[in-house]
Structure 1
Amino acid sequence: MDRIPQELALDILSRLPIPSLVQSKSVCQDWRTLTHDQLLVNKHFKQMVENDPSFILQIMGYSIQNQLYFGDLSSDPNDGNVTMIAKKLTIPPLLNFHLVSSCNGLLLLRATHPSFELYIYNPFTRDYIELPKLSHHDGVRGFGFDPTTKKYKVVEISYKRTTPFTFSHRVVRFGMRRSHQTETSSSLIESEVHILTVGSPTWRNLGCFPFRFMWQKSQVLVNRKLHWRTTTNLIMSFDLATQQFKEVPRPDVITSNSDRRFHELVVLRGCLSAVSFDGNNQELEIWVMKEYAMKDSWVKQFNIGAYVPKIFQSNYQCHSSSNSRFYLPKNCIQVLCLLRNGGILLQYGNKAIVFYDSHCRTFQDIQVTFEGISSCFTAVAHVASLNSTDT
């Protein structure tokens, strides 16, 4: 090892998949020291971002919901079939928890009743920290990195019902873009916003604003901003640096066509994207914002037809992909990611992951193996790293 220039050694190690890189710490003391070098951590993470993401999967079920798995895609060179081998991860000593989100290789975990603590955890270095407690239990959360302060931040939005009054969206709170809609509500829900800078002992209350966010399966972090859709189908962003909310322009199809339903927000290769489907449940559309915050940059990039994975076909009495009467409702489908080859990974009903070839418009069920366990699961795209929870 002494004969290899450090720059070359860093380049070699940065190209290893994360499990191999973690194992390399056992080779010798020099390699162990290198794996803690911030230059290697940053270089490796940059390499991983350019690749297709891996996945963190959580088994669903009361008795086993504290199990996490790391899943990587692999393709059989003979028949081209895609599989995912999910390897069990070591987890913090929590009785039960939910996987909230992933950012830069770190996971935000939330313990379930009765404690409801939040933890940040790196499943490969096995480092974790417990965050200061907050009294609220219900709401939505986001987790991201602020490059201006080089600190991670956690946002929690809880809800409270206020007395009836008339409010106007023209009032700008926390830097929200002005809107010209005025609403009168007999029972208005206000969102109370708290933020924690990781490493700080206390949460800060940023006040309230008159919107309620929809819960989403995975967080949407684009351009250092967290994004949610509201119950009124607005897209709102929260800037981690300025700590301000702002309305983001929507694609026209969401605002002008009542036949299409706004399903979810996702991130596709770094771009904010909106998923919608028509009232007949026959086609799912993915709109991509090519230039952030520019309304005219929204383009419809994908049309995805109806499909039932094999695991559901017996339940739906559907043995042919041409029989459209038994297709799963589109609200059972989650868009996971866009791969480098143009394919899209979709999760169907917490039981199946499907590869959609956008060029050939074909579907392929991906076999997911949990080391011999077959179960319901949730999946979150994850870029594995050696980033420290103390960053």
Structure 2
Amino acid sequence: MDRLPQELVLEILSRLPLPSLGQSKSVCRAWRILIQDRVFVDKHFKRMADNDSTFILQIANQPNQNSLYFGDFSNNPDDGKAMMITKRLSMPPILNFHLVSSCDGLLCLRATYPSFQLCIYNPFTWDHIELPKLSHRAGNLGFGFDATTKKYKVVEISLKRTTRRGFRRGRQITAASSSSSESVVHVLTVGSPTWRNLGSLPFHFMWQNSQVLVNGKLHWIATEHMIMSFDLATEEFKEVPMPDCIGFNGKFHELVVLRGCLSAVSFDDDAEEWEIWVMRECWVKEFSIGVDVTKILWPNDGRVSWNNPRYFLPRKCIRVLCLLRSGEIILKYRNKVVVAYDPHGRTIHDLRLTFEGIPRCFKAVVHVASLIKIDNFVNT
């Protein structure tokens, strides 16, 4: 192996999945240095980002403890269909947490007890940084990379709070006004000691399952029938035109990223089908998922059958996760089942995730595993 040119070694190693690189670092000192080099880290990350999506899955073990798993796609040797392989990951320094989002292999985590602390964590390099505390419980959160400053930023949007008359144990009561529709925006550059207040917006933001980061802009659903983007470079909000699906019969469900494009998911009451609209130069409806293919049986043993027409997927229990290179759409049902839907054959199959005996209830976030070190952008 010493006779191989370094360029060829770099090319070979950059194609390995990240768990395999951990073993490769033990081969020799030269490989360990190469794998830790920033040029190699960036090259490997770009290759992994071009592959099919991988996932971080958060599993609740106990009331005050969680586990993280890495989910990667493979083909079932029996039938050739996609399946997801899960691998348990090292834990962050907080036991009870909420998985907020992922960016460039880094996870944004929010501790749910006792302090609601925020943390950035790389589950493959095991390094982390705790963020400065907010003066209030965090609202909607977003996490992304500002390409102009080469820094990561966390955005927090909360309902504007007003002071009501009244005292409790000598202290004035402060609460969110039920009539208020304003939101307050705070931004933190990771590595900075303080949050910055960017002021207020004249509307509130709907709760989002996960951040939607596209081309350096975070996206949220604001009030009803409105999409707002936040440019991480300019730190300015801008309204995004809505797709035509949001009309009299269309019910806006969620935003998602499909192969790098902002996408909107809605349910058409008249056609009784899910519609997936993708933003290119304009909004284009690219996928339709009829109710007839989302019939599902949920027996007492927790296994899934697709043969019984008496059971239907509740609309709000379905989430679109990603689009594979094969054209299959990955859907999640009730935080318990992940399935692959073929829009051409209009067929669907269960990916049958297993978690070493842990109950099948989880949150899934699209994640590209990386060797990025937090110190690389905090200390520059």
Normalising to structure 1: TM-score of the pair?
Answer: 0.87
Q: Is the 8 A contact 1:193 1:205 kept in 2?
A: yes
Q: How far did residue 319 of structure 1 move?
A: 6.6
Letter in 2 for 1:269: R
Q: Structure 1 regions of 5+ residues with no counterpart?
A: 164-184, 292-296
Report whether the alignment pairs 1:347 with 2:332.
yes
Find out whether 1:261 has 2:251 as its counterpart.
yes
Partner of 2:272: 282
Q: Residues 74 and 319 (structure 1 numbering): CA distance in 2 closer, same or farther, change over 3 Å? A: closer
Preserved contact between residue 129 and residue 374 of structure 2 (Cα < 8 Å): yes
**Aligned residue in 2 for 1:214:** 206
- Is 1:31 matched with 2:16? no
Partner Cα distance (1:252, 1:367) in 2: 35
The corresponding residue for 2:352 is 367
Distance apart, 1:81 and its partner CA: 3.5
Matched, 1:192 2:184: yes
RMSD: 2.3
Matched to 2:274, the amino acid is L
Query: Could you tell me how far apart the structure 2 residues matched to 1:67 and 1:281 are?
Result: 40
Distance in 1 (alpha carbons) for counterparts of 2:216 and 2:323: 20
The answer to whether the 8 Å contact 1:309/1:354 transfers is no
Equivalent residues, number: 361
Shift of residue 2, structure 1, vs aligned partner: 3.9
Q: How has the CA–CA distance of structure 1 residues 319 and 337 changed in structure 2, closer, same or farther, with 3 Å as cutoff?
A: closer
Partner of 2:261: 271
Mean CA deviation greater in 139-148 or 72-81: 72-81
Question: 1:107, CA displacement in angstroms?
Answer: 0.4
Q: Deviations over 1:138-179 (max 9, x none)?
A: 41000000111111111111112569xxxxxxxxxxxxxxxx
Structure 2 residue corresponding to 1:312, chosen from 275, 292, 298: 298
> Which amino acid is 2:71 matched to?
G
Please give the secondary structure, in 2, of the residue aligned with 1:91: coil
Q: Which moved more, 1:271-280 or 1:216-225?
A: 271-280
Structure 1 residues 191-210: Cα deviation after superposition (integer angstroms, max 9, x where no partner): 11111111111111101111
Task: Give the superposition deviation at 1:312.
Answer: 2.0
Question: What is the TM-score of this pair, normalised by structure 2?
Answer: 0.89
State the secondary structure of the residue aligned to 2:19: helix
Segment drifting more, 305-314 vs 84-93: 305-314
Which amino acid in 2 is paired with 1:50? D
**SS at 2:339's partner residue?**
strand
Q: Which residue of 2 aligns with 1:338?
A: 323
Structure 2, unpaired ranges of 5+? 164-176
Contact 1:134 1:203 (8 Å CA) reproduced? yes
Q: In the TM superposition, what are the counterparts of 1:1-391 in structure 2 within 5 Å?
A: 1-60=1-60, 62-63=62-63, 65-161=65-161, 187-254=179-246, 257-279=247-269, 282-291=272-281, 297-306=282-291, 307-308=293-294, 312=298, 321=307, 323=309, 326-390=311-375, 391=377
Structure 1 moving runs of 4+ over 4 Å: 307-311, 313-316, 318-322
Identity among equivalent positions (%) equals 65
Task: Work out the CA distance in 2 between the residues paired with 1:101 and 1:18.
Answer: 20
